[in-house]
Structures are given as structure tokens and as C-alpha cells.
Amino acid sequence: MPWIAGYPREKVNWGPTIDGEKCVGCGMCLNCGKNVFRWRDGKSSVENFFNCQVVGCSTCANLCPAKAITFPDLEAVRALYKKEGIWGKVREEMIKEGKITG
């Protein structure tokens, strides 16, 4: 997962939460191909929170017509990246891959 450069995914609090009261059962979020959601009793539920693949992205929340999906506080994620030096590790990986120059 390039955005966390080998940092344990389970230590990064990023993934969707569904408000079951707001969900209208449109099924849109099940279009996520990462096995995050399950269809239960005509609505969606989060089954595999940490399967959400790109830390910081929130496509399902952006497209949910009922605004039923939320994500954790981005500032806390930024603080973790700073504290754990994740930005630097990501940068090193990108230099190795030739995406950026040092």
C-alpha cells in the first residue's frame, strides 16, 4: 500500500462508518472492490474497516446519496504520519520507484 510505506495498516485509523439510520439502501458503496462492505437486510454495513485501501481517500462517502458514510478525523491521521515519520518513508519509496527525484 504505497500511501503508508509498510506501516501497519491496523494502526492507521482510516475507513468508513455507516449510519444505518441514514442509509437508504441504494447499494452504491458495495461497488467498492475492496471487500469493505456487506449487504445486510437491504442496507450496507461495514465488515472490513481496514480493507479500505487508500488512506485519506473517501470516495464512497463522497458518492453516497444519503450522506450516510463518514470517515475519521483527517487531522489525527496527519498527526500520526508526522509522529511516525510516514511521510519520509513514502518519499523514500517514491524516490526508489523513480516517481520523484531526491
Q: Are strands 17-18 and 37-40 parallel, antiparallel or unpaired?
A: unpaired
Residue from 12, 55, 68, 86 that binds ligand SF4 (CB under 6 A)?
Answer: 68
**Residue 12 in the binding site for ligand SF4 (CB under 6 A):** no
Residue from 5, 12, 58, 86 that binds ligand SF4 (CB under 6 A)?
Answer: 58
- Residues contacting 100, CB < 8 A, separation 6+: 91, 94
DSSP-assigned beta bridge partners for residue 46: 37
Please, are residues 27 and 37 in contact by the beta-carbon 8 Å criterion?
no
**Residue 4 in the binding site for ligand SF4 (CB under 6 A):** no
Where along the sequence are the contacts to ligand SF4 (CB under 6 A)? 16, 18, 23-29, 32, 34, 36, 43-44, 52-53, 57-60, 64-66, 68-69
